């Protein structure tokens, strides 16, 4: 099991960045690796489940494990067969204004390492005003 933590800071307001996370229909607007989302809830909620679509028609199932709206923090698991990635996201005020967001990715090393470039790009887009 490998765990990596990524951060990105940008000019978007924390409340806006949180909404970009909290409404799965918005994920494709800031995450280039996501082409669409099918989910059982319009807003993040523990137990919400669905599928996230990516390039080349790839679609993977996910389940939201936890959501803390007050702390702007949530976690989900993406699983394909025995392979699982757990992703923990959080949103905080940036050091000079704007937002800093973080992502902790845990799973098998090859999956974690292969996801890092796409995650870095998505986080950079997420925090842009």
CATH of residue 47's domain is 3.30.530.20
**Residue 118 CB contacts under 8 Å (≥ 6 apart), including other chains:** 31, 32, 33
What domain range is 108 assigned to?
2-126
| Structural domains in the chain (count) | 1
Q: What count of other Cβ atoms lies within 10 Å of the Cβ of residue 125?
A: 16
pLDDT tens readout for residues 2-57: 999 999 999 999 999 999 999 999 999 999 999 999 999 999 999 999 999 998 88
pLDDT tens readout for residues 80-98: 889 999 999 999 999 989 9
**What is the pLDDT at residue 87?**
97
């Amino acid at each position: 099991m490998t765990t990596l933590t990524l951060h990105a800071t940008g000019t978007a307001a924390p409340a806006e960045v949180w909404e970009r996370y909290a409404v799965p229909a918005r994920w494709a607007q800031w995450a280039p690796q996501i082409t669409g989302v099918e989910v059982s809830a319009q807003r993040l909620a523990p137990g919400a489940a669905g599928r996230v679509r990516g390039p080349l028609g790839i679609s993977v199932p996910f389940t939201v494990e936890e959501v803390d709206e007050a702390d702007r923090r949530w976690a989900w698991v993406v699983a394909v067969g025995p392979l699982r990635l757990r992703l923990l996201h959080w949103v905080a005020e940036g050091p000079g204004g704007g937002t800093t967001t973080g992502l902790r990715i845990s799973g098998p090393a090859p999956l974690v390492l292969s996801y890092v470039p796409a995650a870095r790009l998505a986080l950079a887009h997420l925090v842009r005003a």
